[in-house]
Chain A
Amino acid sequence: MKKKLTSVNYLVLLAASAFFIFPLIAAFEFSLRVNKGKSHGFENFRWVFQQGGFKTNLGVSFRLALLTAVAVLVLMVPTVVYLHLGGGRWKRMIEFICLVPLVVPVISFALGVGTAFPVFLQSTVYELSFLYVIVSLPYTYRALDVGLSSIPLMTLVEASRASGASMRQTLLFVIIPTIRSAVNGAVFLAIALSLGEFTLAVLLHWDTFPTWIANISQGHILNAIALSVVSLVGAWLVVLVMAVAPKSLRSNKTQEATS
């Protein structure tokens, strides 16, 4: 539905791009400054990549993101599928529960977790993953709900069950492939959130990539700016490539429902 853009539209888009691009460009320029601003070079970036903390903290954040994504899949997909099949009467209740994390400011949530959780849970950084699952609930639930609403779920399941597949097989080989784009959306949201989350990590005294950036910014401002540019532009490029990649790479249909 391509329509003609008015001159006001162009003006709005131009102003918006300027507002978002200029701080990025400015930060990039700062990150290139070396010798107290007298010349430009990539030394700040090099310094960042040489730090031992870069690899370890990025590693921690990636592992947290992975665990969060898996937990979201295991917990949310069967739940939302069930709500669309036989558990419809609980849909409103679950919807409401999934909105609660929006109501609870993360700082309040962090306080509660700090006092409530037993020591054995608080002794591993991976406790954060479970909390990220909670914080991402409103978004992951919505993504999966929209995906499941757009397919003839009951027909698919009945066909699969009538062909002799078990409920588990149906879920794995019929439903999930059919709503792959919704599942991807939920997973990307969970991953983006885990990679960038700061409040819970810092208040529960864990070192992740975002808290590490905050730490090195105390004494190494230009390096921290370089790191900020890298993390933002990196995330942006990854998401952009996924969004505009040719359809064959984003396929969300499978031909064979059951074997």
Chain B
Amino acid sequence: MTQRTGTLKQGAGPLAYLSRGSTFKSLIPLMPFLAFVAYFLVFPLTFIIRDAFLSNDGKFTLDNFAESFKGVYGHSFAVSIRLSFISAMIGAVAGALIASAVVKTGTRSRRAIAATSSVFANTGGVPLAFMFLAGFGTEGLVTKALKAVGWNLYSGSFTLFSETGIILVYCFFQIPLMVLIFSPALENIKPEWREASDSLGGGRFSYFSRISVPLLFPAFLSTTLLLFANAFSAYATARAMTAGTLPLMPLLIGNLVDGNVLANQEHLGHALAVCMIGVSMIVMGIYLLVLKFSKAKP
């Protein structure tokens, strides 16, 4: 008979055999997963990294990396990072505003909005590009409607294919992603805290600055970083939208390895891919640090 029911710690009751014994034995049930990840994820990654360090005649070289930060490649790194950063900031702020309104509505509408967000957060590529061309293109309905009320979108240098235009398009999936991930954090804020703050004489501003912002900031920051990574790696939408007018990292890599250019640049493509992983790793490292130091998980 066991007295240790209900605990999630190891070594309880009839399941003790699962965790008893050597480290290796306790790994056995995880083997299918580890083998799968090793073959389908780690194995391809080692190949990119290996190829990034090879010259065309198969010798070790660092030239590919040196090339990665020069000229058009260096420039497109800057453009990609800037664009991802701005679209993440806009997506995060707008998404947080929407989420703070959504959490006040009833269960049903919250569920409907979560479902809608999950669909919109996954749009991209040609369908998304067409929606914005139809809406905000030179002949688009929104453009015409705005012109009718006296705001000509195209009076300045704006086009949908510029950096500003792409950021606008990316908002269509960045904002719903923020709503989706940030809402649970908002729902964890208990109404009692507001009441406690009120009864202690705290005003609206002090509740905001001393309670909700400090509580929510870790979740906000970590979700923002997630949005950055999301925009940084977006390929389908960039490809459908820009047709080469804007140098974005994923597009350059795609061109380099898709056989559209000289074959001897494949290793450069791999080096660029490794650099992209590097940037994402830095961002994700910050994300993990934030998670570690925050109690309110997103």
- Choose among B15, B171, B269, B277 the residue that contacts A105 (Cβ–Cβ < 8 A): B277
Task: Determine whether B295 belongs to the interface, using a CB cutoff of 8 Å to chain A.
Answer: no
Task: Determine whether A104 belongs to the interface, using a CB cutoff of 8 Å to chain B.
Answer: yes
Task: Determine whether A120 belongs to the interface, using a CB cutoff of 8 Å to chain B.
Answer: no
Task: Determine whether B43 belongs to the interface, using a CB cutoff of 8 Å to chain A.
Answer: yes
- Choose among B43, B105, B142, B172 the residue that contacts A2 (Cβ–Cβ < 8 A): B105
- Choose among A26, A137, A192 the residue that contacts B118 (Cβ–Cβ < 8 A): A192
Task: Determine whether A69 belongs to the interface, using a CB cutoff of 8 Å to chain B.
Answer: no
Q: Binary interface profile of B, 102-138, with partner A (CB < 8 Å = 1, else 0)? A: 1111101001101110111011111110111011100
Task: Determine whether A84 belongs to the interface, using a CB cutoff of 8 Å to chain B.
Answer: yes
Is there an interface contact between B48 and A112, defined as CB atoms closer than 8 Å?
yes
Is there an interface contact between A113 and B44, defined as CB atoms closer than 8 Å?
yes
Is there an interface contact between B8 and A75, defined as CB atoms closer than 8 Å?
no
- Choose among A9, A78, A231 the residue that contacts B127 (Cβ–Cβ < 8 A): A231
Is there an interface contact between B104 and A3, defined as CB atoms closer than 8 Å?
yes
Residues of B within 8 A of A104 (CB): 41, 45, 277, 280
Residues of B within 8 A of A152 (CB): 6
A108 to chain B, nearest CB (A): 4
- Choose among A26, A109, A111 the residue that contacts B269 (Cβ–Cβ < 8 A): A111
9-residue interface stretch from A41-49, A52-60, A235-243: A235-243
Q: Binary interface profile of B, 37-60, with partner A (CB < 8 Å = 1, else 0)? A: 100110111111001000000000
Is there an interface contact between A105 and B33, defined as CB atoms closer than 8 Å?
no
Task: Determine whether B293 belongs to the interface, using a CB cutoff of 8 Å to chain A.
Answer: no
Residues facing B in A91-113 (CB within 8 A) are 94, 97, 99-109, 111-113
Task: Determine whether B205 belongs to the interface, using a CB cutoff of 8 Å to chain A.
Answer: no
Is there an interface contact between B119 and A236, defined as CB atoms closer than 8 Å?
yes
With A133-B40, A157-B15, A225-B130 as known contacts, state yes or no: A102 contacts B119, CB within 8 Å: no
Task: Determine whether A34 belongs to the interface, using a CB cutoff of 8 Å to chain B.
Answer: no
Residues facing B in A202-259 (CB within 8 A) are 202-203, 210, 213-214, 217, 221, 224-225, 227-229, 231-232, 235-236, 239-240, 242-244
Q: Binary interface profile of B, 124-163, with partner A (CB < 8 Å = 1, else 0)? A: 1111101110111000111000000000000000000000
Is there an interface contact between B134 and A23, defined as CB atoms closer than 8 Å?
yes
Is there an interface contact between A103 and B37, defined as CB atoms closer than 8 Å?
no
- Tally of contact residues, A, Cβ under 8 A: 94
Is there an interface contact between B15 and A103, defined as CB atoms closer than 8 Å?
no
Is there an interface contact between A105 and B280, defined as CB atoms closer than 8 Å?
yes
Residues facing A in B173-217 (CB within 8 A) are 175-176, 187, 191
Contacts between the two chains (Cβ within 8 Å), count: 272
Say what secondary structure dominates the interface of chain B.
helix
Is there an interface contact between B135 and A27, defined as CB atoms closer than 8 Å?
yes
Residues of B within 8 A of A224 (CB): 126, 130
Residues of A within 8 A of B104 (CB): 2-5, 9
Is there an interface contact between A75 and B2, defined as CB atoms closer than 8 Å?
no
With A2-B106, A75-B32, A214-B126 as known contacts, state yes or no: A89 contacts B10, CB within 8 Å: yes
B276 to chain A, nearest CB (A): 5
Task: Determine whether B97 belongs to the interface, using a CB cutoff of 8 Å to chain A.
Answer: yes
Task: Determine whether B245 belongs to the interface, using a CB cutoff of 8 Å to chain A.
Answer: no
Is there an interface contact between B94 and A16, defined as CB atoms closer than 8 Å?
yes
Give A92 to B44 CA distance when docked, in angstroms.
23
Task: Determine whether A131 belongs to the interface, using a CB cutoff of 8 Å to chain B.
Answer: yes
Give A94 to B29 CA distance when docked, in angstroms.
12
A22 to chain B, nearest CB (A): 5
With A29-B134, A131-B40 as known contacts, state yes or no: A240 contacts B112, CB within 8 Å: yes
Is there an interface contact between B284 and A103, defined as CB atoms closer than 8 Å?
yes
Residues facing B in A70-126 (CB within 8 A) are 75-76, 78-79, 82-90, 94, 97, 99-109, 111-117
Residues of B within 8 A of A243 (CB): 111-112, 114-115
Q: Which residues of A contact B (CB under 8 A)?
A: 1-5, 8-10, 12-13, 16, 19-20, 22-27, 29-30, 75-76, 78-79, 82-90, 94, 97, 99-109, 111-117, 130-131, 133-134, 137, 152-155, 157-158, 161-162, 189, 192-193, 196, 198-199, 202-203, 210, 213-214, 217, 221, 224-225, 227-229, 231-232, 235-236, 239-240, 242-244
Q: Which residues of B contact A (CB under 8 A)?
A: 2, 5-19, 26-27, 29-30, 32-33, 36-37, 40-41, 43-48, 51, 94, 97-98, 100-106, 108, 111-112, 114-116, 118-120, 122-128, 130-132, 134-136, 140-142, 171-172, 175-176, 187, 191, 226, 229, 232-233, 235-236, 240, 250, 253-254, 257-258, 269-270, 273-274, 276-277, 280-281, 284, 288
19 CB-based A-B contacts, threshold 8 Å: A4-B104, A9-B100, A22-B135, A23-B131, A23-B134, A27-B135, A30-B130, A82-B30, A87-B29, A89-B10, A112-B47, A130-B40, A158-B5, A161-B14, A203-B257, A213-B127, A221-B130, A224-B126, A244-B108
User: Which 7 interchain pairs have the tightest Cβ spacing?
Assistant: A86-B18, A112-B44, A105-B233, A228-B127, A243-B115, A86-B19, A108-B273
Please give 13 more A-B residue pairs, beta carbons under 8 A apart, in addition to A12-B100, A88-B10: A12-B101, A13-B102, A19-B172, A20-B172, A23-B132, A75-B32, A85-B18, A86-B18, A90-B30, A107-B235, A108-B276, A153-B8, A214-B240
